[in-house]
């Protein structure tokens, strides 16, 4: 009998959890959760390499694909869905590919994760090219669907990145960059939606956030490419311009209107006195970075 991977082993610290009080159950789970940040910290160097590879691919006009099954796929879909409203990007730029398709977002699709060939086929349907980046996510490091997707991506010449909580597994052999968060045994044996899933969410947050920071979608710590398409985002855009330019909310609203609701352009207009066309030209020359446009 082979020894199960760490994510499938029994946790000695939570044995007998079924006999505990509610407060004791919560303390046991929380104690285990506290180890996740440490595991992610150890993986930061690999995560940094992945961010640089992703941002380079996006800068060249490529796309970012997440591939996962079950919890991993749903977390990928959540992160991908948040990118357009946060950074004002087109939906196709960051895409999640989940074993079992859309139904798997809300229902368990039995057997979908075991279809290795389907992982590659699903990426082929998206028109994967050598200019894209693919992030395969699998707590066990051995999900066939994810491995098939990475194999296909490698053949295409795309950037391949793996996120797993299990070292020395097939995903670390296939991915050119491996992010290994050693979260160990789960509080409930094998329930990788817990610590392993939390680590995945943290890493996914960092990959996209840091990549778009590098690409100029953030100025200071303000999301300056937000698209004011509803009342909440209109208010946020106005506040961002006011804070970045040091003007009143009323003046920020005027600048946004003059800039065609482009937050970055409005900030440049306020800080430099340029008109809209000139501000747009300077921003384009700076690769979309407000900081570079102001210092150029």
- Are residue 27 and residue 146 in the same domain, yes or no? yes
- Are residue 201 and residue 235 in the same domain, yes or no? no
CATH number at residue 238: 1.10.8.1080
Instruction: Identify the pLDDT of residue 181.
Output: 98
Range of the domain at 264: 231-295
- Are residue 163 and residue 282 in the same domain, yes or no? no
- Are residue 288 and residue 200 in the same domain, yes or no? no
Q: Is residue 188 part of a domain?
A: yes
113 labelled catalytic: yes
Q: Which two tokens stand for residue 174?
A: 């296939």
Q: Is residue 226 part of a domain?
A: no
CATH number at residue 95: 3.40.50.10490
Q: Is residue 225 part of a domain?
A: no
Query: 113, 151, 186, 280: which is the annotated catalytic residue?
Result: 113
CA distance 237 to 164: 37
Is residue 199 scored above 80 in pLDDT?
A: yes
Q: Is residue 220 part of a domain?
A: no
- Cβ atoms within 10 Å of 56's Cβ, excluding its own: 16
Domain count, the chain: 2
Q: Is residue 34 part of a domain?
A: yes
Residue 219 DSSP code: B
Q: Is residue 223 part of a domain?
A: no
For the stretch 227-245, pLDDT in tens is 888 899 899 999 999 999 9
- Are residue 137 and residue 267 in the same domain, yes or no? no
- Are residue 154 and residue 288 in the same domain, yes or no? no
pTM for the full predicted model = 0.91
- Are residue 131 and residue 245 in the same domain, yes or no? no
Is residue 1 scored above 60 in pLDDT?
A: no
**What residues contact residue 240 under an 8 Å CB cut-off, 6+ apart?**
222, 223, 224, 226, 263, 267
Query: 8, 32, 82, 186: which is the annotated catalytic residue?
Result: 82
Alpha-carbon 289 to chain mean position: 21
Is residue 98 scored above 90 in pLDDT?
A: yes
Task: Quickly tell me which residue has 């937000």 as its tokens.
Answer: 226
- Are residue 73 and residue 26 in the same domain, yes or no? yes
For the stretch 48-72, pLDDT in tens is 999 999 999 999 999 999 999 999 9
82 labelled catalytic: yes
């Amino acid at each position: 009998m082979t020894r199960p991977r760490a994510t499938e082993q029994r946790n000695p610290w939570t044995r007998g959890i079924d006999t505990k009080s509610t407060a004791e159950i919560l303390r046991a789970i929380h104690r285990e959760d506290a180890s996740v940040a440490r595991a992610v910290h150890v993986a930061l160097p690999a995560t940094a390499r992945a961010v640089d590879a992703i941002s380079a691919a996006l800068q060249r006009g490529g796309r970012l694909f997440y591939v996962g099954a079950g919890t991993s796929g749903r977390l990928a879909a959540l992160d991908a869905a948040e990118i357009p409203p946060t950074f004002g990007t087109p939906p196709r730029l960051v895409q999640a590919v989940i074993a079992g398709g859309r139904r798997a977002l809300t229902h368990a699709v039995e057997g979908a994760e075991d279809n290795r060939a389907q992982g590659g086929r699903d990426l082929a349907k998206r028109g994967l090219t050598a200019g894209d980046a693919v992030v395969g996510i699998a707590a066990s490091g051995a999900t066939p669907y994810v491995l098939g997707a990475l194999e296909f991506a490698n053949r295409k010449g795309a950037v391949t990145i793996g996120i797993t909580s299990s070292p020395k597994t097939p995903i670390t052999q296939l991915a050119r960059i491996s992010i290994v968060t050693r979260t160990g045994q789960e509080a409930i044996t094998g329930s990788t939606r817990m610590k392993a899933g939390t680590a995945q969410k943290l890493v996914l947050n960092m990959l996209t956030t840091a990549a778009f920071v590098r690409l100029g979608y953030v100025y200071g710590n303000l999301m300056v490419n937000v698209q004011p398409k509803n009342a909440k985002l209109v208010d946020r855009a106005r506040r961002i311009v006011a804070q970045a330019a040091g003007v009143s909310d009323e003046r920020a609203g005027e600048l946004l209107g003059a800039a065609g609701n482009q937050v970055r352009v409005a900030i440049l207009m306020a800080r430099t006195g340029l008109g809209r066309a000139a501000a747009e030209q300077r921003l384009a020359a700076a690769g979309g970075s407000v900081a570079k446009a102001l210092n150029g």
